[in-house]
A and B are shown apart, each in its own frame.
Chain A
Amino acid sequence: MVSVVYKAPDSIQAAISILSEAEIATKILAGGTDLLIQMQGLVNESRLFVDIKKIPEMMQATLGDQGLDLGPSMCCAEFTAREDIRAVYPGLVEAAFLIGSTQVQGRASVGGNLCNSSPAADTIPALMVNAAICVIAGVKGERSVSVEEFVTGVGTNCMEKGELLKLIQLPRPAKNTSDAYLRFIPRTEMDIAVAGAAVSVTLDDEGVCTAARVSIGAVAPTALLVQEAADALIGTKLDDKALQAAGDAASAAASPITDRRGTVEYRRHVVGVLTKRAAQIAATRARGN
């Protein structure tokens, strides 16, 4: 592993100062489930690790009338145990619950999953359909971007040197709204998505879908918000025909690669099926709300 200088500041301000003044390459350390593995391969190099888990607001989640303020570094085990959050954002919670094992969830954070920006990251599609906002802090102050703008490519995002993700904000969903996330892996646990789909739907009192968001993961360099799939759902009662059209739109939007987890054709097909099923689950949940 690399040679490490370790700092654990207790405020965002202090973290930003350390990050911006550092003379060697810096790495923000949250749960370390990506970072420590990535660092194992490096020799004869040094990094300054800034552990952000001693900063109280990075580790808290507050659910209020406006929505959810999620401290990016709260571990998934703590996050998924929050019944209040699950009641409002079940799809996001189920995405976090799919990450690794019990042990991995004891460390891995939603913010780390987002900042690592893997095409297969499970929480990213679920954050997108919930219209999550990333609040980034740096020496020049704060800025807010959508998740779609945040993630820019395979393992890349819009953060610059000296910046950190300080907050993930999810607006409170409208009445009769719910979400769902599904992924496909060849086994039942402990694997990376071959394809994933998150859907959020809003229904009116007659059960007609008035708003929808659809996001697909692991089938393009970044998770994608698929407007055509959402359009296929809006204005319908989410009957089989509408679900099929949404699935077809998701398949059409996918630009997957072939690797040992699946071929292009297979991924394209599976992402459509997942979109259809996730829409169905989100609809069932929205009807119950």
Chain B
Amino acid sequence: MSKTHVTTTINGDVTEFLCEPADTLLSVLRNELQLTGTKEGCGSGDCGACSVTVNGRLVCSCLVLGVEAQGAEIGTIEGIESAEKLHTIQEKFLEHAALQCGICTPGLIVSTKALLDENPDPTEEEARYYLAGNLCRCTGYDKIIRAVLDSAKVMRGAA
């Protein structure tokens, strides 16, 4: 089967790749483009480890085809920091020790960024519901939620 040529924008950079039409965006990111920050947990939309944005919308990259990236704007964990400086959300995850093994962390940070872009001042309940599709088997979520709400506070102050 012949591979398809796809031109897309990833974290602001125009990027080209070849993929099989059946390849998921997750597999393209990790295996073709070596953007391995995006993780694979379940491959079925349940865990959120593979969270990325497509045209600004938060999705599971395991449920998107690579060919669907044609002409789209993709945002991954690699695009969260700027000029090699950690994003506030990343700093707050570290500060609050909101990770243990870390497999869920890139997805959670991408999702938190999407949450705070939409709603800069979420209640704890809103944050918990928004992030319900990001599973973490280690932390028990409390530290994650504290990091999220603290990030929101700092980011509101900076805006």
Contact = CB atoms under 8 A, between A and B. Distances in A.
B57 to A, nearest CB: 4
B20 A4 contact: yes
Contact of A40 (B43, B46, B67, B114): B43
A109 to B, nearest CB: 13
Interface string A1-45: 111111010000000000000000000010111001101100000
B141 to A, nearest CB: 12
Interface string B51-65: 100100111101111
Given A36-B24, A36-B65, A101 B43 contact: no
**Most chain A CB within a 10 A radius of its CB, from B22, B57, B111, B134:** B22
A32 B26 CA distance: 14
Contact of A37 (B58, B63, B115, B132): B63
B45 interface: yes
B4 interface: yes
A33 B22 contact: no
A1 B45 contact: no
Given A4-B21, A5-B21, A75-B57, A103 B51 contact: yes
Nearest to A1: B22
B15 interface: no
- What bracket does the count of chain B residues touching chain A fall in? 20 to 34
Contacts of A32: 63-65
B106 interface: no
A32 B25 CA distance: 12
Interface residues of A, number: 30
Interface in B2-28: 4, 20-22, 24
B45 A106 contact: no
The B interface, classified by DSSP as helix, strand, loop or mixed, is: mixed
B142 interface: no
A35 B156 CA distance: 40
A289 interface: no
Contacts of B130: 102
Contacts of A49: 21, 65
Nearest to B130: A102
Contacts, number: 81
A106 B59 contact: yes
Nearest to A29: B65
B68 interface: yes
B4 A104 contact: no
B62 to A, nearest CB: 8
Of the candidates A2, A8, A40, A103, the one having the most CB atoms from chain B within 10 angstroms of its own CB is A103
B148 to A, nearest CB: 13
B43 A103 contact: no
B102 interface: no
Contact of A6 (B24, B63, B65): B65
B70 to A, nearest CB: 8
B4 A106 contact: no
Contact of A102 (B46, B65, B114): B114
Interface string B106-122: 00000100110000000
A204 interface: no
B23 to A, nearest CB: 8
Nearest to A37: B44
Contacts of A102: 58, 111, 114-115, 130-133
A170 B135 CA distance: 36
Interface of A: 1-6, 8, 29, 31-33, 36-37, 39-40, 49, 51, 53, 75, 77, 100-104, 106-107, 188-190
Given A103-B133, A190-B132, 11 more contacts: A3-B1, A3-B20, A3-B22, A5-B21, A32-B63, A32-B64, A37-B44, A49-B21, A101-B45, A103-B111, A107-B63
Interface of B: 1, 4, 20-22, 24, 43-46, 48, 51, 54, 57-60, 62-65, 67-68, 70, 111, 114-115, 129-134
